[in-house]
Amino acid sequence: MKVTVITKDNGNRELPFDKDRLSRFIDKISSDYPDLSISDYKNEVLTNIEFKDEYSSEQITNLLALNASERIDRFEPDWTYVAATIYLHKLYKEASKNRAYDTDQKYGSLYGLLKVLGSKGVYDQTLLRDYSKEEIMELGQTIEPERDKLFSYVGILTLAHKYLATDKSSNVFELPQERFMVIAMKLMINEPSAYRLELVKEAYWALSNLYMTVATPTLTNAGKNTGQLSSCFIDTVEDSLRSIFDSNTDVANLSKNGGGVGIYFGKLRSRGSDIKGYKGVAGGIMGWMKQLNNTAVSVDQLGQRQGAFAVYLDVWHKDIFEFLDAKLNTGDERLRTHDIFTGACIPDLFMEKVENREDWYLFDPHEVKTVMGWSLEDFYDEKQGSGTFREKYQECMDHPELTKERVPAIEIMKRIMKSQLQTGTPYMFYRDTVNRTNPNKHEGIIYSSNLCTEIMQNMSPTTVQEEYLSEEGKIITEKVPGDMVVCNLSSISLARAVTNDVLERLIPIQVRMLDNVIDLNTIDVLQARHTNQKYRAIGLGTFGWHHLLAIKGISWESEEAVELADQLYEKINYLTLTASNQLATEKGAYPLFEGSEWNTGRYLERSYGIENHDGSISWSDNKWKELSEDIQNDGLRNGYLIAVAPNATTSLIAGSTASIDPVFRQEHVEEKKGFRSPVTAPDISSKTIWYYKSAFNIDQSWSIKQNAARQKHIDQSISFNLYIHRSIKAKELLGFHMQAWKSGLKTTYYTRSTSTLIEDCESCSS
């Protein structure tokens, strides 16, 4: 009788195939899932092995995982955990071999890991310098290998392929729970030694239970020697050659470390404007967008992926039509920037003109500044229906010396929707709504958003003040730093955290982790570092909304879902502000707190109070009154606090649904660099399957209602996608945009149609 030979240790050892041993292993790893068809799986695996004369132990492991993963579907979704267990067994085996400990232990010495990867130049030496051996040994004892069982197959594949620390030859050293512990150690490294270990353990608890995820750059780089920890950035470009090229250099430096960048081009002169008095010679913004496009392609983040940039432009800019066509696959290729995402900055007045089918006027920002003495983009409407922007816009319309182009507002909107149907962009940025609710309007204005439309923070350009040759022969450049926005992101796994009722415990440690990222970060661009310290802005977000609805048995298209969004995000806002207030008491408020709407109490009064005739405030709940008083007395640690990012990648790791989005379908195949795996909607069962309606089959007006309910409790914004069929009528799509604007949404992200394929920004994945 033929016996299959099993080879081990790269063929150095040969053993006869032990069928019973493998059968027992399969029984062991599947024992928690009695409803699976284990006998069929076992027979297929054993038959495959016995058919060949020789199999390596690595091939058997791969066969087991592959065969289990191929069985993942909505009827037997638990195969994902069987496949994950097999893959984890492979990781344990490789790590133990490389680190020289017994595989049965699963995890080796944390101290030993820090020593070996520190010596190889992978880990940051500060971990060994600032923590004693005894402290590290204690933290090593805290690690819970059993929490690896929480990973789905696609979750552990994603974590292992993209985030776990290896040596420089890509050999496995770090394991999942060690990645979480190293992140916790790094983020708490500067906390007072008296209670630092308790904070590390608390951060590890939050991460290892998959109650939250940190942003992709933090997940990748925390504790390592390379990279920075922030997700993305926003730059403002001044209308000068120096500013344009300096900005290009800055965004290239940010991009090389994995940061996505939003760039505001609204100050740049339009095509046909004058340069130094010479009429009609300016080339407009498209040439500079082409330059950025080349930078995005060339600065490819160590070969991992090309850079990710989004450019924003105001709808009154004379180049708006060229801008809106920039990503189309038809037309003049010299005016196309296929690798740049676009965003339209839209005032209330424009939407009113669209609704009333009135004319709209386009201007050249350079000419407006020259003739009028001010810049139109520096104003917004302080109240709905009235304000400084529309007054200044009218002045521009009426000025006899100012050139202008008149177009029907609906024609611009048609061009926006055409581009959205073909490319998914432009994003929509409702600038008046954004600036009216800006808690830090005492220090500036918000011109645009970031790559994923969830960040809303003050912006201004960096300018060169002086440049001279010193006596030593060195060129000295002095710059006035503008507000270059930095996004520090992290997200709550709603389904897991809400179901286990841990929000009150989770959010304080999460806010502390985010706040510590600000001080630990090493950002190459100095004005970004400066802005980070001034505002100490964070972006606490969420994912797993559809997952939570399914578990609770709530239909997406229901008032119950809208009400849950309202109540849940109010709670998250309250807990986040409370945590930041307590941190301010401990560590001090952010430097620009004085004069902010947090300081005056106006922000929370507007959100949770009603002003009476006598000027007093009637609060929706007395807890908000008390919190507002605490903040006014003791401050806030962070100037901006909540932002809901797309987080498609890290939600996969945590085994949940992305952001606040509905699922595309109940099951699909996830393809990433290095692996391919079937995926089902999380916790899908005979009970939950009815609540996992596909995104493209959901009435988007319900999604807008939900988002309006949560936006009331979010000081920044939300990466909110519209899902539409390719055959949608223009009137219906326009209706969704009008509803979003009237409902108080600050932004909409991609318009995803059944004909467009859009890759999510990994930088903002948190």
Q: What are phi and psi of 752, to 5 degrees?
A: -90, 115
DSSP string, 210-229: TSEEE-HHHHHHTTBSS--S
CB count, 10 Å around CB of 357? 9
Give residues with Cβ within 8 angstroms of 157, minimum separation 6: 87, 672, 675, 677
**761 catalytic residue (yes or no):** no
Q: Is residue 587 within a helix (H) or strand (E), and if so which, with residue range? A: helix 559-587
Q: Is residue 724 within a helix (H) or strand (E), and if so which, with residue range? A: strand 722-724
**What are 360's two structure tokens?**
């709209």
As a whole number of angstroms, the distance between CA 239 and CA 269 comes to 7
Buried b (16+ CB within 10 A) or exposed e, 677-689: bbbbbbbbeeebb
**What are 564's two structure tokens?**
């849950």
Q: Chain-centre distance of CA 386, in angstroms?
A: 34
Beta bridge partners of 330: none
**232 catalytic residue (yes or no):** no
As a whole number of angstroms, the distance between CA 494 and CA 491 comes to 9
CB count, 10 Å around CB of 241? 10
As a whole number of angstroms, the distance between CA 450 and CA 434 comes to 13
What are the CA-CA distances from residue 731 to residues 173, 408, 423, 432, 470 (Å)? 56, 16, 19, 24, 63
The residue from 202, 322, 454, 570 that is catalytic is 454
Helices (H) and strands (E) in the chain, counts: 30, 23
Beta bridge partners of 543: 493
Quote the longest CA-to-CA distance of the chain. 99
Buried b (16+ CB within 10 A) or exposed e, 607-629: bbbeeeeeeebebeeeebbebbe
**435 catalytic residue (yes or no):** no
**What are 36's two structure tokens?**
């699976």
The residue from 94, 257, 438, 452 that is catalytic is 452
Give the 3-state secondary structure of residue 96.
helix
Cβ–Cβ under 8 Å, residues 246 and 222: no
The residue from 67, 248, 450, 707 that is catalytic is 450
As a whole number of angstroms, the distance between CA 440 and CA 433 comes to 14
End-to-end Cα separation, the chain, in angstroms? 55
As a whole number of angstroms, the distance between CA 569 and CA 321 comes to 38
Encoded amino acid at 476, one letter:
I
- The catalytic residues are 450, 452, 454
